[in-house]
Amino acid sequence: MTKLRWSLMTASTLALAAIAPALPVNAAKKPQPTGPQIVMSDTFRAQMASAKAALRSGDTATANNIASSLMPSSDFESYAAAGLRFELASRRSDVQAQRLALTDMFKTNAVPVAEAPRLRFLAGYFSYAVGNYDDALAQLGYAKTLGYDETDALLLTADIHLRRGKPKEARPFVDAAMARERAAGRAIPAAWYDRAISLAYQAGDWDAVGRLYRERLALGASRGEWRSALANAMTTPGIDKQAMLDLYRLQAANGAMASERDYQGYAAFAEKSGYSAEAKAIIEAGRSAGKLAPTQPATAQLFKTVSPKAPKEIAALPAMVAKAAKSNKGDAALDAGDAYFSLGQYPQAAEQYRLALSKGSVDVNHANSRLGVALARSGDLAGGKAALDQVSGKWASVAGFWSVWVDQQSGKASASKQGATPTG
């Protein structure tokens, strides 16, 4: 279950506080402006005072004996006795007994109006804890009608729906809880993101999957977390093949290439996209990292295929640049930029992307996305961020992931200048 953000103030606090020994006897029957009317016999008052003293000293056995012997004769006495049972059940972590004690409180008319919403929420929580989900939802609904509409109630409702196998019903409550945290300027726990991402994934809401992953990564992420996020982003239906290649490139830029599958997948995709030199470099990097064996069949064959093509690609670059300069349209410059980009020659790539954009007749989102990466990887983090921010459409998600990376590089650079230890 998602950890709920609430602190459990026992319901007996009100009841026990109401019969403190210092309270004058003649005040016991006076109506209380903000709470229940306190009507107790002297005997009952003395018993509750003894129970309170025993609880303070940690003598739960004595307090339990007193609770068993109580014979309430008024509405408030019944409320106070239930409160004492609740406290004792809390101390022994008996959820079922806590829930029953709350039921007994609700049977009285002595529950303080100000505390009723929260106590109903607690009733919902304890019903949830013992597996009575119907009652849990009913109590949470009741608590909301009384004014209890806190984030913990949203998360608890979501978890109940999930436990009942209804992710579609759970998702709006998780989203609402996260929206509240954002609006309040509070950091959202990583576990909440994990839950929201899972729900969005099940719903096939790929825009939300990407957005939530990017928000989560922006909090600071390990290489493993980057790898997981990008691997899931690669499963987005209809993703542009060139954009998907850039996700592999981002995985490598984060040092998140962790397995034979990672290197093999990246190399194969680069080769299919027409970048033999890049495929060759990835295989060599995988072998150097000990993730790919030279005898591994698939990559050994791929390496044999791309090795003779790689130098020819590099030799063809001057002709591509010349063609781009003469063309009235930007498509040739975009191709040249992509070729330089695949080789990690980012300043040259940025120059060609700018030329492509100036001449037009190109996919501006493709060009701006890679221009942003090329500038950032050339050291111009601000320029890279500005270009990435202009990307929309099918390239927006990929550009967004790279934008998170750029922000983190900027943070590290700033921390380094200040002499601090960079994080993230």
| Residue 180 pLDDT exceeds 60 | yes
pLDDT digits (tens, 9 = 90+) for 340-352: 999 999 999 999 9
Topology classification of domain 12-196: 1.25.40
Q: Tell me what the pLDDT averaged over the chain comes to.
A: 89
User: Six-digit token pair at 43?
Assistant: 């005997």
Query: 353 near 342, Cβ under 8 Å?
Result: no
pLDDT score of 15: 44
pLDDT score of 33: 41
In 3-state terms, what secondary structure has residue 423? coil
Percent of the chain with pLDDT over 90: 83
pLDDT score of 415: 81
User: In the predicted model, what is the mean pLDDT of residues 272-300?
Assistant: 94
pLDDT digits (tens, 9 = 90+) for 55-112: 999 999 999 999 999 999 999 999 999 999 999 999 999 999 999 999 999 999 999 9
| Residue 296 pLDDT exceeds 90 | no
**Would you place residue 46 in the very low, low, confident or very high pLDDT band (cuts 50, 70, 90)?**
very high
CB proximity list for 176: less than 8 A, separation 6 or greater: 154
**pTM of the shown model:** 0.79
**Would you place residue 38 in the very low, low, confident or very high pLDDT band (cuts 50, 70, 90)?**
confident
| Residue 300 pLDDT exceeds 90 | yes
Cα dist from 230 to 243, 402, 411, whole Å: 12, 11, 21
pLDDT score of 39: 76
pLDDT digits (tens, 9 = 90+) for 4-31: 333 333 344 444 443 332 222 332 333 3
| Residue 174 pLDDT exceeds 60 | yes
pLDDT digits (tens, 9 = 90+) for 404-418: 999 999 998 888 777
pLDDT score of 420: 55
pLDDT score of 29: 35
Alpha-carbon gap, residue 375 to 396, rounded angstroms: 17
Hey, what amino acid is at 101?
A
Alpha-carbon gap, residue 140 to 156, rounded angstroms: 9
pLDDT score of 253: 96
Query: 212 near 179, Cβ under 8 Å?
Result: no
- pLDDT top residue among 15 and 313: 313
| Residue 332 pLDDT exceeds 90 | yes
Q: Which ranges of 58-189 would DSSP assign to H, the alpha helix?
A: 60-69, 75-91, 95-106, 116-129, 133-145, 151-163, 167-183
pLDDT score of 21: 29
**Would you place residue 221 in the very low, low, confident or very high pLDDT band (cuts 50, 70, 90)?**
confident
Domain segments of the chain: what residues? 12-196
